[in-house]
Structure 1
Amino acid sequence: MSNNTQNTTHLTDEQRIDWLRLIRSDNVGPRTFRSLINHFGSARTALGRLPDLARRGGAARPGRIYSEQDAEAELIAGRKIGVSLVAPTEPFYPPRLALIDDAPPLLGVRGTLKVLARPMIAIVGSRNASGAGLKVTGRLAHDLGEAGFVIASGLARGIDQAAHRASIDSGTIAVLAGGHDRVYPAEHEDLLDAVLQCGAAISEMPLGHVPRARDFPRRNRLISGVALGVVVVEAAHRSGSLITARIAAEQGREVFAVPGSPLDPRAAGTNDLIKQGATLTTEASDVINMVQPIMDRPVELPTREPEEDLPGTYEPDPGDRARIVGLLGPSPIGLDDLIRMAGTSPAVVRTVLLELELAGRLERHGGGLVSLI
């Protein structure tokens, strides 16, 4: 099996330091990072403009900018435990992950890295899994592994653990919510060591980062992002696995669900997914038959064009800024709607949004929506 993709552009050592400094700086997420690179042409130029943009966005004081010394120290510390930080256009960056809107600009990878180029299926589900759920997970993961797929999951208790254990020999990917040196749960350190023998681990978080509740939904977009499709085995209503399924659908991934008893609350979410159009799944062939046509299409990174006008070549006038900020509120609004209502150019709107985000006043949502904090 092959993803038919080529990652050819390598960062220089200086660029990697600049990219790491930018993505680790305050109020810079993956989408903002990409906007800054598109606007300014390089991370180094963007770093120099961060304080001014934040001031114009209403920040009382500039956000922290990650220092060159800290970036160099992070790279060195990562290498000591086998972690490499790779960009979307470089080898060992999962090809399909590079296609999502909020792909990490730098991804920490370690283990048997060649598996990251192979086609993946994600398997997720309840931490408090039933015996039946664990059994069907093991069978699906084993059979998909035998068919040539790498199994991606989140190293959690229950379904995740069963998926990893059943696919250790064929190759499995642990997607971490914390830093590579902060395994969660701690009791799965031995499992992770086993995963790394024929598989790999990935994380966008810095070393030393202990995962918090809000980090898990962020991690879930990577689980679905690396994969052709996501299989949900057991999931209660309002569970993290359903969040992963929702994100997968937004990313254009196939969603599969294993049916369960209507009397078991752990199956309520998966049964609802089937009602909503997820593929009912009881064996590996259900997954393989759906993703085979996708695998036959080459994976190509989208071409990202620089913005027409660079913020920094001008400053939006106070009237434009006030009008755009006035149109924003706690309810998300689409960028196209905002541009139309503001009656100004896309470049002006994007500049004001960048200013607000770097000031910590803007939240970005899926589908190009933004809201004011």
Structure 2
Amino acid sequence: MADAAFAGAASGIAARLRLIRTPSIGPVTYAQLLARFGTAQAALDAIPLLARRGGGRPPVLADPRAIAAEIARVAELGARHLFLDDPDYPPLLAQLENAPPALTMRGDLALLRRPCVAIVGARNASAAACRFARELAVQLGEGGATVVSGLARGVDTAAHVGALGTGTVGVIACGIDVVFPPENAALQERVGAQGLLLAEQPPGTEPRARHFPFRNRIIAGLSSGTVVVEAAPKSGSLITARLAAEAGREVMAVPGSPLDPRAQGCNLLIREGATLVQNAGDILQQIRPLDPRMVRAPGAGYGGPPPEDASDAVRRDVERLLGPVAVPVDELIRQSGHAPAPVSMVLLELELGGRLERHAGGRVSLVG
């Protein structure tokens, strides 16, 4: 009986990964499919019918052989998968509408049960900024916080080094077995051994430019607050700060000289309302209200009603309201006059049929 239970668990992991690794199924769609059908396998079985209802061809599902190879590789690395509906899934991250359905992790998950602070900044940071980031990380750790960053050059590296002794989380934009940048190989290994290493991409995935914004949302989502230490006006660090603000988290910045281009992003954030940070005490005072121990993660990561079958009338009304310009889903529900659940199902069908695109902020548009 134990062997049967293990086999059932393994097949459940494979089905969830196959759903997640299917390119046209994003985090929102994944969560809605599980909310509607209960299990990943039931969702996989239903996809062809849903896509036909949406007027398109069913998506090509992920290859089962690739999924089996991923599961074996994760086990070989001494890592494991962490799914959105697992009790250990980070509760603050689960609050995001587009929370990652699955993460690969290696290390100590208990670090995420403490208040988390993201420290991010320029890759070409000044020596003074790196020293300040490192000292902030040391002091935050001594104050009981976990430091989260992206294992990039510059400020990220300094933050991880400062927090190694007290607890740090590294979020990478590649597979958990890939090192980027190469000079951080030893640091990444130490973070995985002494802290916690997280990756959304499957093992073996090399970092691509499109992966970094996804990584940044995880950094912001894990954290009660994000601190920016030196950043250009159009940088990944400011993207992380924006994502933190959109998630309702604290955004903080270290001021710098107006003569230094690397300080312009931080000064801009402060001008727009970010908290000015001079020491770790300023940060700890801001993040206490968002202690993750006070937040309960949603069971399946989807806050709306489970989608339910829609009538032809609902389909006609929703498609009539859609166009190439992205519109909030709430507005579609209001103007259609239909309940949220069947409208959600129509959008799900259209997306699986390749006719709908989802945008940030809960907006959707027709493709083409």
Task: Please give the TM-score of this superposition, normalised by the length of structure 2.
Answer: 0.90
Counterpart of 2:26, as a letter, is G
Contact 1:234 1:269 in 2 (8 A): yes
Determine the structure 1 residue equivalent to 2:253: 257
**TM superposition shift of 1:221:** 0.6
Counterpart of 1:208, as a letter, is G
Counterpart of 2:286, as a letter, is M
Whole-angstrom distance in 2 between the partners of 1:145 and 1:158: 19
Change (3 A) 1:129 1:356: same
- 1:163 to 2:170 alignment: no
Matches within 5 A, 1:202-217: 202-217=198-213
Whole-angstrom distance in 2 between the partners of 1:166 and 1:356: 48
Whole-angstrom distance in 1 between the partners of 2:219 and 2:17: 22
**TM superposition shift of 1:213:** 1.0
Determine the structure 1 residue equivalent to 2:52: 55
SS in 1 for 2:91: coil
Change (3 A) 1:87 1:169: same
Whole-angstrom distance in 2 between the partners of 1:89 and 1:170: 28
In terms of mean alpha carbon deviation, does 35-44 or 352-361 score higher? 352-361
- Cα deviation, 1:263-313, whole Å, max 9, x if unaligned, reads 2221111111111111100100000111123328612123657846623xx
Contact 1:40 1:310 in 2 (8 A): no
Determine the structure 1 residue equivalent to 2:14: 17
In terms of mean alpha carbon deviation, does 108-117 or 18-27 score higher? 108-117
SS in 2 for 1:310: coil
Contact 2:318 2:332 in 1 (8 A): yes
Determine the structure 2 residue equivalent to 1:5: none
Residue 133 of structure 1 is aligned with which of 129, 132, 150? 129
In terms of mean alpha carbon deviation, does 349-358 or 65-74 score higher? 65-74
Determine the structure 1 residue equivalent to 2:145: 149
In terms of mean alpha carbon deviation, does 85-94 or 40-49 score higher? 85-94
Whole-angstrom distance in 2 between the partners of 1:203 and 1:308: 28
- 1:101 to 2:79 alignment: no
Determine the structure 2 residue equivalent to 1:80: 76
Contact 2:118 2:149 in 1 (8 A): yes
Percent identical among aligned pairs is 48
Whole-angstrom distance in 2 between the partners of 1:291 and 1:344: 40
Residue 241 of structure 2 is aligned with which of 245, 256, 264? 245
Whole-angstrom distance in 1 between the partners of 2:275 and 2:119: 14
**TM superposition shift of 1:206:** 0.8
User: What do you get for the CA RMSD once the two structures are aligned?
Assistant: 2.1
**TM superposition shift of 1:246:** 0.7
**TM superposition shift of 1:89:** 4.2
Change (3 A) 1:361 1:83: farther
SS in 2 for 1:52: helix
**TM superposition shift of 1:97:** 1.3
Whole-angstrom distance in 1 between the partners of 2:304 and 2:250: 31
Whole-angstrom distance in 2 between the partners of 1:13 and 1:176: 26
Which runs of 5 or more residues in structure 1 are unaligned?
Answer: 1-10
Whole-angstrom distance in 2 between the partners of 1:196 and 1:182: 12
Contact 1:151 1:167 in 2 (8 A): yes
- 1:346 to 2:346 alignment: no
Task: Please give the TM-score of this superposition, normalised by the length of structure 1.
Answer: 0.89
Determine the structure 2 residue equivalent to 1:236: 232
**TM superposition shift of 1:165:** 1.2
Contact 1:41 1:306 in 2 (8 A): no
Residue 276 of structure 1 is aligned with which of 269, 272, 275? 272
Whole-angstrom distance in 2 between the partners of 1:260 and 1:326: 51
Whole-angstrom distance in 1 between the partners of 2:165 and 2:319: 54
Whole-angstrom distance in 2 between the partners of 1:255 and 1:305: 25
Determine the structure 1 residue equivalent to 2:364: 370
Residue 322 of structure 2 is aligned with which of 305, 328, 333? 328
Determine the structure 1 residue equivalent to 2:31: 34
**TM superposition shift of 1:13:** 3.1
Counterpart of 1:265, as a letter, is P
Counterpart of 2:323, as a letter, is G
SS in 2 for 1:202: strand
Whole-angstrom distance in 2 between the partners of 1:87 and 1:81: 18
Give the number of equivalent residue pairs: 358
Contact 2:253 2:275 in 1 (8 A): yes
Whole-angstrom distance in 2 between the partners of 1:200 and 1:325: 45
Contact 1:230 1:248 in 2 (8 A): yes
Counterpart of 2:332, as a letter, is L
Change (3 A) 1:191 1:35: same
Contact 2:115 2:287 in 1 (8 A): no
Contact 1:54 1:359 in 2 (8 A): yes
Determine the structure 2 residue equivalent to 1:310: 308
Contact 2:32 2:307 in 1 (8 A): no
